[in-house]
Copies of this chain bind each other. A is one copy, B any other.
Amino acid sequence: MTSKRFAACKQLRRKCHSDCIFLPYFPPNNPQRFSYVHRIYGASSVGKMLQQVEEHQRGDVADSLYYEAYWRIKDPVYGCVGIITALHEEIYHVQFQLAKVQAQIDLLYQNGVYTFDS
């Protein structure tokens, strides 16, 4: 057991060993980070998801799980799927604007007055 338990093990009230899977990704100075993923996925599931990838990928797993858990708590109905929907709408809006100005450019080409380097 280490002299200082890390955020995850502290919240789980269990012994924290030096090879603890949570240790590098849920530091004691940010207890909310583990609290959120624990609330949504459960500690056992988070541990499994960290273990099933290569060690160098675990930081990204912890970050993306925290991001998803954060949004699920903030928006219990849609979670981060709400963000995906909003981004799709934004893309649609920008593509619409793009098509509009491209149509203006096409009109000028048809008039044969201007030539542009694209």
Interface of A toward B, CB cutoff 8 Å: 40-42, 45, 49, 52-53, 57, 60-61, 63-65, 67-68, 72, 76-84, 87-88, 90-91, 94-95, 97-98, 101-102, 104-105, 108, 113-114, 116
Contacts and interface: CB of A to CB of B under 8 A. Distances in A.
User: Nearest 7 pairs between A and B by C-beta?
Assistant: A64-B81, A87-B87, A94-B94, A101-B101, A98-B98, A57-B77, A64-B78
B84 A60 contact: no
Contacts of A65: 79
Contacts of A40: 41, 45
A65 B8 CA distance: 24
Contact of A95 (B41, B94, B104, B114): B94
17 contacts: A41-B41, A42-B42, A52-B76, A53-B76, A53-B77, A57-B77, A61-B76, A64-B77, A64-B82, A68-B68, A83-B84, A84-B87, A94-B94, A98-B98, A101-B101, A105-B105, A108-B108
